[in-house]
A and B are shown apart, each in its own frame.
Chain A
Amino acid sequence: MLVEEIMKTQIITLSPTASIAEALQLLQKHRIRHIPIVNETFNIVGIVSDRDVRDASPSIFYRDADKSELENDIQSIMSSPVVTIHPLDFVEEIARIFYDEEFAALPVVKENILVGMVTEKDMLDTLIQLTGTNVQGSHIEVKVPHQPGILPEVTSIIGGRKANIISVLVYPCTDDPRFKILVFRIQTMNPMPVIHDLRNAGFELMWPNNISEPKL
């Protein structure tokens, strides 16, 4: 999946000379946590987070605090240079950036122009879509040897019952590197024929379908 498919294109921005107070107001009004700072040609020159703005604000414990600091330019507190991504980057590649750099938002830049934003929340939404849990279905996990040809073998058993596969995930088996765990969501209320066929073909099913006794 590409970044351009998940990025938000309605972006709230500020110019470098906008005040910190303006940033504070925008963060609250739009319930966002990051504002990219752009120049007049929409090139990205910096980024501020709600934490940067909070750090620059007087403490709420001092009622009569001097709030004139909030009139300073946003460029005085923005982070620069900015790590950016491209619309044609893969979602899984940028997940790596989120994880390694501990960022919560990434601006999307094309030909030096800001065209979108991707946040951690967008990443989590993508994860939900990938797992297929947003669609009605039954969940089956199969432990398989880590060898070529296994996935089509399992999916052909599912296909043999005309069960529609909503999502497939492949996890490493943490206990034993010779195996993998295939996670399927199939669009049926009656997964039993598929489960029986998988068992009969010698595949080991994982919780809660690894205990067949009470259901016999």
Chain B
Amino acid sequence: MTGKAAFIYSDALLNYHFHPDHPFDQKRVILTKELVEAANQLHPNEIVEPRMATENELALFHDRAYIEALKKASKGHLSENEGLEFGLGTEDTPMFLGMHEASAYLVGGSLTAVDTVLEGDFYHAVNVGGGLHHGFNRRASGFCIYNDGAVAIKYIRKKYDLKVLYVDTDAHHGDGVQWAFYDDPNVCTFSIHETGRYLFPGTGNVNERGIKEGHGYAFNLPIDAFTENESFLQGYETAFKEIAAFFKPDVIITQNGADAHCFDPLTHLCATMDIYERIPALAHELAHQYCNGKWIALGGGGYDIWRVVPRAWAQVWNVMKTGKPAKGNIPVTWLKKWQEKSPVTLPAKWQDHSDIVPTIPRKADITEKNGKLLQNLLKYTNPIK
């Protein structure tokens, strides 16, 4: 064991870029890295460079025809019609030159994270460039091209034969990963997200529980629009603990989408930084309880790239490294460098002031409804109570 935690990074992770107006912006990755560096929390010996995933590795989950289409698109040789068959060239996932290589690097980053943890060099690893949970085996979807989480889990199953618990806190349902392992009892998926009644992709109902051998190994907590910290954490914490106790994983993979914050432009959830302190802390605690610390964290959604995502993802690293989230002031050097580029005022502290959350008139109803969902979710894991 050479260290506690590995931070997967190279500039190659920044090449995943659709166009300047697209909400998915990998500038988040460099903002996060520089934030932890400015806070003196990241040292060169903790940075592990990602590799590019090979075609055979991508094919652990993705269809060969899809990979071939992406290689063509990457060179600008895929026609509009050919692209649409694979979900490429849409508003959500437009084509861009070099897209195959850029996407394969994100997957490679997650595979690197897996190997550094499972070969015993580090307890934990984070690839904030990954977490592209909407990708399907032969279709791009919801800003996601290759699904690094699904490929990484297939890779773990094949190479290490371990039981994987995948936990997804993105505000959008982790559909691509869920469907990839829907019939697999060795991979348990748990996604907490805003209800699909309003929000993309629309799935993730509590009654989606897996099929065939995998029945009982898919969990969904589709919380209501405008859910706040308290109700989010109450449901999340109870569910995660119960599911971990029920499944007893060998390794935990978390997808750390940071779009449930009240500043996020694409969702209707109303959380603050409080949840982004507790989410990694709980993963850390349960990874040590069940998996000898083996925990791999990925990035994901997050569309307020200035005020929310860098702090949220930096806290994942802070918890991995020190066991607890950072408190107090954001390093001035980071603020100075990035404020001039940011269209909004950057937050000066790690924590949010509670007054950023608007008053939600139906808070009591929302809390009650989320509580009912939680009971429903845990119907089969915890029958005696």
Residues of A within 8 A of B (CB): 133, 135-139, 161-164, 185, 187-192, 207-209, 211, 213-215
Q: CB within 8 A of B198: which of A189, A190, A208, A215?
A: A208
Q: CB within 8 A of A137: which of B143, B200, B270, B358?
A: B200
Residues of A within 8 A of B226 (CB): 208, 211
Contacts A208-B225, A211-B226 supplied; 12 other A-B pairs, CB < 8 Å: A135-B202, A136-B142, A136-B200, A138-B200, A139-B198, A162-B91, A189-B143, A189-B200, A190-B91, A208-B268, A211-B358, A214-B270
B92 engages A189 (CB within 8 Å):
yes
In the complex, residue of chain A having the shortest beta-carbon distance to the beta carbon of B224: A208
Q: Which of B71-96 contact A (CB under 8 A)?
A: 90-92
A138 engages B91 (CB within 8 Å):
no
List the one stretch of B53-61, B258-266, B286-294 in contact with chain A. Answer: B258-266
Q: List 24 A-B contacts (CB under 8 A).
A: A136-B201, A137-B201, A138-B200, A139-B202, A164-B90, A188-B90, A188-B91, A188-B92, A189-B92, A189-B134, A189-B172, A189-B201, A190-B23, A190-B91, A190-B92, A190-B266, A192-B23, A208-B198, A208-B268, A209-B198, A213-B358, A214-B358, A215-B264, A215-B265
Residues of B within 8 A of A207 (CB): 225
Q: Is B184 an interface residue (CB 8 A)?
A: no
Residues of A within 8 A of B264 (CB): 215
Q: Is B203 an interface residue (CB 8 A)?
A: yes
Judged by DSSP, the binding face of A is loop
Residues of B within 8 A of A211 (CB): 226, 358
Interface flags for B162-180 (1: CB within 8 Å of A; 0: not) read: 0000000000100100000
Q: Is B315 an interface residue (CB 8 A)?
A: no
In the complex, residue of chain A having the shortest beta-carbon distance to the beta carbon of B361: A211
B263 engages A215 (CB within 8 Å):
yes
Evaluate whether A136 and B175 lie within 8 angstroms (CB atoms) in the complex, with A161-B91, A190-B92, A215-B265 already known. yes
In the bound complex, CA of A137 to CA of B90 (Å): 13
A84 to chain B, nearest CB (A): 34
Judged by DSSP, the binding face of B is loop
Interface flags for B191-211 (1: CB within 8 Å of A; 0: not) read: 000001111111100000000
In the bound complex, CA of A114 to CA of B198 (Å): 42
Residues of B within 8 A of A135 (CB): 202
Q: Is B357 an interface residue (CB 8 A)?
A: yes
Q: CB within 8 A of B265: which of A136, A138, A188, A192?
A: A192
In the bound complex, CA of A128 to CA of B265 (Å): 28
Residues of B within 8 A of A (CB): 23, 90-92, 134, 141-143, 172, 175, 196-203, 225-226, 262-266, 268, 270, 357-358
Evaluate whether A136 and B358 lie within 8 angstroms (CB atoms) in the complex, with A189-B92, A189-B143, A208-B225 already known. no
B272 to chain A, nearest CB (A): 11
Residues of A within 8 A of B90 (CB): 164, 187-188
Evaluate whether A138 and B92 lie within 8 angstroms (CB atoms) in the complex, with A208-B226, A214-B262, A215-B263 already known. no
In the bound complex, CA of A136 to CA of B202 (Å): 6
A120 to chain B, nearest CB (A): 19
A194 to chain B, nearest CB (A): 10
Residues of A within 8 A of B263 (CB): 214-215
B180 to chain A, nearest CB (A): 15
In the bound complex, CA of A138 to CA of B196 (Å): 8
Residues of B within 8 A of A164 (CB): 90
Residues of A within 8 A of B91 (CB): 161-163, 188, 190
In the complex, residue of chain A having the shortest beta-carbon distance to the beta carbon of B356: A214
In the bound complex, CA of A40 to CA of B197 (Å): 49
A135 to chain B, nearest CB (A): 7
Evaluate whether A189 and B142 lie within 8 angstroms (CB atoms) in the complex, with A133-B202, A208-B268 already known. yes
In the complex, residue of chain A having the shortest beta-carbon distance to the beta carbon of B268: A208
Residues of B within 8 A of A215 (CB): 262-265
In the complex, residue of chain B having the shortest beta-carbon distance to the beta carbon of A134: B202
In the bound complex, CA of A162 to CA of B263 (Å): 26
B7 to chain A, nearest CB (A): 28
In the complex, residue of chain B having the shortest beta-carbon distance to the beta carbon of A192: B265
In the bound complex, CA of A163 to CA of B91 (Å): 7
B288 to chain A, nearest CB (A): 34
In the bound complex, CA of A211 to CA of B226 (Å): 10
In the complex, residue of chain A having the shortest beta-carbon distance to the beta carbon of B142: A189
In the bound complex, CA of A161 to CA of B90 (Å): 11
In the bound complex, CA of A121 to CA of B228 (Å): 37
Residues of A within 8 A of B262 (CB): 214-215
Residues of A within 8 A of B201 (CB): 136-137, 189
B278 to chain A, nearest CB (A): 21
In the bound complex, CA of A163 to CA of B92 (Å): 9
In the bound complex, CA of A188 to CA of B201 (Å): 8
In the bound complex, CA of A191 to CA of B265 (Å): 10
A139 engages B199 (CB within 8 Å):
yes
B44 to chain A, nearest CB (A): 36
In the bound complex, CA of A96 to CA of B357 (Å): 46
Residues of A within 8 A of B23 (CB): 190, 192
A153 to chain B, nearest CB (A): 21
In the bound complex, CA of A187 to CA of B225 (Å): 19
In the bound complex, CA of A213 to CA of B134 (Å): 28
